[in-house]
Chain A
Amino acid sequence: MSGSPLVEIDKASKIYRSPRGATTAIADVTVQIGDGEFVAVVGPSGCGKCTLLKCVAGLEPLSSGEIRVRGERVDGPPDGLGAVFQRDVLMDWRTALDNVLLPAEFLGLRRADFLPRARELLGLVGLADRANSYPWELSGGMRQRVAIARALLCRPVFLLMDEPFGALDALTRDELNVELQRIWLAEKNTVLFITHGIEEAVFLADRVLVMDRDPGRVALDLEVALPRPRPIAVRDEPAFAAHTAKVRAAMPRAGASRAA
């Protein structure tokens, strides 16, 4: 599955300084992500997983260490990036279709060139008939689908997903997990997926990284060798449970250390 590493995170550390002292969000994180690999990061809140994602996106500078994408040092958002955040951050003043087209506008590309692609993506996420709906007319699940379509518009090589389904109910979440897998199998992007759901991580990923907190670091790097496409019922199989058990064992116990 994995080819040459697309992303190299090399002894990355991030320290936030405030008048009340310094907080180490992540310390000495070293991870490689192969081309086309789906990597999920799980961990409790305050383990620095979101910080890691922001640094990989080039939205925040590292305190020390280096992140390279395609061998190039990240210093601002790299080429071919797509992103989905926990909040869908759709623009209320734009229709679903116009929201999907946003990356092209920001990247300074011609909107018209991406119109067919935008419609195709809305179809891919099951919203072909809602292209002209405004965000407030859509349910939470639909809004997050639009956000996914938006992230895929410019055929990103590398997709960052920061707890994209965290705010959704369990049923919608399962549904979107299955759809995301289907989309990923079709689009073949490299994905870095942040979540606090162990089942979600094992279901989606080729590799699950478990992060510990104080300071944020990688506690476990687990290969998930379950065949694709995985049906939602895969979660009832012993092989799946074996994976989740390993992840759960590596998770820092609740209350064992102070919350950040």
Chain B
Amino acid sequence: MSGGASFRAHLVDTLWVVGVFAFVCAVWEFAVKAFDLPVFVLPPVEDVVADLLSAPGLFASHALFTVGMALAGFAVAASVGLLMAFAVVSSRILDRILMTFLALLHSVPKVALAPLFVIWLGAGFEPKIAIAAMMSVLVIVVDAVAGLRSVDPEMVNLARVYRASPLAIMLKVRLPAALPHIFASWKVAISLSLIGAIVGEYVGGQRGLGYLILVSQGSFDTPRVFASVLLLSVIATALYYLIALAERMFAPWHVSRRAGGH
């Protein structure tokens, strides 16, 4: 629990990550030199970095678009998913209908549906948001339902003793109890939304890192493809930690107990 120890543990963790990353770069660099690989197959690390730095405005604007699509899709999935979870927990009939529908959706490889969304919604931002949302809604519903049902039945009984309305039981008893589950699902969902946004950019439109990867690949500009991929992994990591930060703010009891309990 002590701050010093946790800081040192953090530092060790970070050093490991940096170390492994440096090792991968070294192997990469070595492979390029040793096998004399052409740039369009595997560009050297410095070419990728140089490309990133050569057009920061271009990368930033495409990255911003992709992040926007991923976040919008995630927001749709998070709110629709939560409402669906409320419905599933409240009614047996809705439980059957919605869960069957979601299982059906889950069985479809969602990437395969992406071209359909372009037909339905055009090449603007709508299909990208839709695909990003579709990618992540299932995990959100399933985890939120599990969370809403995880509440101690005795706590619900207590609320009933004081004649709490079904709405009050949902919002004041079940929802806070489900927050740890919901945040866990969000951590997975946010990266799925990012994948959805990129898939959406692959199949239509002229903006975003997905689009940038596609056109760079078309002109064998491999350093730019690598630069975009690198940027995407940085974005995915940042979004994950954004959710972790939100969890710390909105479910501090859970975070602190987890830290103290193990």
CA A59 to CA B173, docked complex, whole Å: 17
Contact B253 A89 (CB under 8 A): no
Does A105 count as interface, using CB distance less than 8 angstroms? yes
B247-258 vs A, Cβ < 8 Å mask (1 yes, 0 no): 000010110110
Interface residue SS majority, chain A: loop
Chain B residues contacting A83 (CB-CB under 8 Å) are 157-158, 161
Digitize B129-173: 1 where CB-to-A-CB distance is under 8 Å, 0 elsewhere.
000000000000000000000001011011111111000100011
CB contact under 8 A between A85 and B154, given known A92-B257, A105-B172, A136-B253: yes
Given the interface contacts A92-B254, A93-B253, A105-B172, does A87 sit within 8 Å of B154 by beta carbon?
yes
B155 x A107 contact (CB < 8 A): no
C-alpha spacing A59/B164, complex, angstroms:
12
Interface membership of B44, Cβ < 8 A: no
A57 within 8 A of B: yes
Complex Cα distance, B253 from A134, in Å, reads: 8
Q: A87-B152, A91-B176, A106-B168 are in contact. Are A57 and B161 (CB under 8 A)?
A: yes
Docked-complex contact B154 and A59, CB < 8 angstroms: no
Q: How many residues of A contact B (CB 8 A)?
A: 24
Interface residues of B in 94-133 (CB under 8 A from A): none
B157 touches A107 (CB 8 A): no
The residues of B with any CB-CB pair to A shorter than 8 Å are 152, 154-155, 157-164, 168, 172-173, 176-177, 179, 251, 253-254, 256-257, 260
28 example contacts (A-B, Cβ-Cβ < 8 A) are as follows: A54-B157, A57-B157, A57-B161, A59-B161, A76-B163, A77-B160, A77-B161, A81-B161, A83-B157, A86-B154, A87-B152, A87-B154, A89-B152, A89-B154, A89-B155, A89-B158, A91-B155, A91-B173, A91-B176, A92-B254, A93-B179, A93-B251, A93-B253, A102-B162, A103-B162, A106-B164, A107-B162, A136-B256
Supplied contacts A77-B161, A89-B158, 5 more A-B pairs, CB within 8 Å: A93-B176, A93-B251, A105-B168, A106-B163, A134-B253
